[in-house]
Amino acid sequence: MTTRGEEFSGLSVALTTPFNGDRVDYDLLGQQVEFQIAAGTTCVVPTGTTGESPTLSHEEHEKVISAVVEAASGKIKVMAGTGSNNTDEALRLTQWAANAGADAALVVAPYYNKPTQSGMYEHFKILAESVEIPICVYNIPGRTSKNIEPETIIRLAELPQITMVKEATGQMDQASEILASTDLTVLSGDDSMTLPLLAVGGRGVISVVGNIIPKDMISLIDSFLGGNIEEAQSWHHRLFPLCRDMLGLSTNPIPIKAAMALLGRDSGTLRMPLLPLSETEMNSLRSTLNAYGLL
């Protein structure tokens, strides 16, 4: 099955933004990109939820996108997070990403102000008609408080630059409706839902745990897409406890930054109002990583 954004099938990794005090550590950021290139990851995704985009200044947001594009050097695709609840701001960031050389833009549904479905459509339509790079619609109502209904996404699929959906609703019926009615590339927005979404026609995942185990996530996807269902199920069953127990400890990206530090791939501090894991949570994280064989 060929989908519209097929070149982004496989593993995309939502990068953390490494902070050193009040500043972004661009050296560490570059090392993250190099780590994913070496792993064979399809695409890196800076300035998304995992990248703490809500607390990046406008200037930092732009610089992080440009730094990741430069570090990628054409060796790995870059899908830059450019969403906002302000259409003008989302347009400016998406145009910046396109001009900086990003391969695509990840645009989250407008949050907090809760637009109507018509407002959602018009928001994405303005962006899609203003840039030439592909746009991935990021639907995560648990954070935005408003679902982009399947009918709206199906309507958005009529716009050529809308090529992908990052599906993080947890509703398989919604994903199935989109897949049955469009040729959009649907990517899982939840690591533990990767295999179920592949089973109904999804093409990959935009992953958080891929920051530490990209090759294992690639093995799961490749096994399924290669027709080895039992092997894909085996990978799912191995990965599921890690995804559940690590990512369930606290709000993303708090646990993944802590895990990266424990594994010698420090991603720096968190930016307020996010706080580090408690001592009890850190002990739980160590146990989870140890059970997976990472410590």
Residues known to be catalytic: 138, 166
CA dihedral over 31, 100, 252, 288, signed as positive or negative: negative
d(CA 212, CA 263): 8
User: Are 275 and 254 within 8 A, CB to CB?
Assistant: yes
d(CA 26, CA 140): 28
φ and ψ at 4, to 5 degrees?
-65, -35
Give residues with Cβ within 8 angstroms of 182, minimum separation 6.
Answer: 4, 153, 154, 157
Map residue 12 onto helix, strand or coil: strand
Structure tokens at 289: 């990583």
Give residues with Cβ within 8 angstroms of 180, minimum separation 6.
Answer: none
Buried b (16+ CB within 10 A) or exposed e, 257-277: bbbbbbeebebbbbeeebeeb
Q: How deeply is 131 buried, as exposed, middle or buried, from its count of CB atoms within 10 A (0-12, 13-18, 19+)?
A: buried
User: Are 254 and 273 within 8 A, CB to CB?
Assistant: no
φ and ψ at 256, to 5 degrees?
-70, -35
